[in-house]
A and B are shown apart, each in its own frame.
Chain A
């Protein structure tokens, strides 16, 4: 018999009951809740006269709708305000852990879970949000669910699941200078496509993944969903254990050592079998920029906008044509000739301290270009913001003409006041470049924090190393 994958182990550990056809009742350890996908779930719970099964497993926070400026005056948009207030009422009624908007610990749900130690290795983590895959970076089985399932987890602490197939994406070798986790994951999606991971749970492995910090691994797992996979994960190593140590909700003392011993087992066995293995050479990955309206539409920053006429598959070619029309781009245009109007550094993909440091390193001593109407930095949580300010990063950005905001999802999906106007082009460190994602008619280019910062300074896409001055 061959060994077990990390996914096998996590799955096995959480089986409560199994039906003959393999449909499994899976136990959920942590349930993260935000204001957008939960109101109807709480309503359902209330209508059925049910209560949360294990209130202590829930951590709730408002993030999608919250303003990133002038918080003291509250939420201006009445519909947004109602949604956030509804969450406040629900957590109060059911006695759930909650970080309100003005709490220092408030932030994007996927940033605060790991930051608080609510996400631990070996746990199952769910949230009514597709980017829950982020938490897999800690050796957890984490995936997004819909609102009916949010209600189901609240009521039963379990979910009905069928086991996915397993995929190993192995990135071996050394990353070139200036190549970041974001570039790696965009390159992976460019390689396997946005449906390449459908039906799979992906483990990211190989020396290049191991060399990344936990923050970098979160960036990779965050976008597993953009490759169609529900879950992404990375095996536990000493970095994982050190990351967790001392976090507010993590075990402490003797219990930590006991837990750490169990966590060290959370790796795929050497003889484990995967249903599919994809290999990438780390040294061949360049900084990436998306040119279209799907995250698989990426090219290296040194490349050009591709030509649909060269595409064999007619459905794909049509998709490319539509994307180019939407993005206002001509085939053959060098990526470095594309000039954004706005720059957004933030989102659950790239708003942790390491991301802000990388962007600040590019910006330091420089100024935003005149054609950039707005360059904004939105930290992932209040604690990230506090840390960045302690390091003086806020000054670096402010001196360069950037805006320094309060934590939240912000212009990643533009549910609050931060959005693109029709036709505006944005260099964004977020994860989705869908039509209208950052505002109706807005045009998104997905990039790493360093590239976003470089675009803000140069006024066009460019490798940070090639900036003058």
Chain B
């Protein structure tokens, strides 16, 4: 499903959108982010894989919503207070990532991405491009295509 916007260049823009998945701070290249919304009017898709929460109608397009916590194998203790859909462009298709909360936008220079530390949980590590140091902790930068596949 082609995304409603023109395909963006995949060069790392140096800016990352940071959000919370459970307690884990994750980020994606902002060039891949199409929009952030609060659309929780999900239609469940039965027999779909567990991490697919459902689909929504986004201005006429049917967009799949992936529960990022489920997908990455992150434990979520209590129901998130302000869940959001981060709609990203993956291989020309618009896909929604359900996150627990939106945090911030950070900048990082080229080459600032560090290799992921060994203690990352398996599910997260499999979809990680690298980590960025920010304030007092690390932000795990995610590979959007890997998540969506």
A and B: interacting chains: no
Query: Chain B residues in contact with chain A, CB under 8 A?
Result: none
Query: Chain A residues in contact with chain B, CB under 8 A?
Result: none
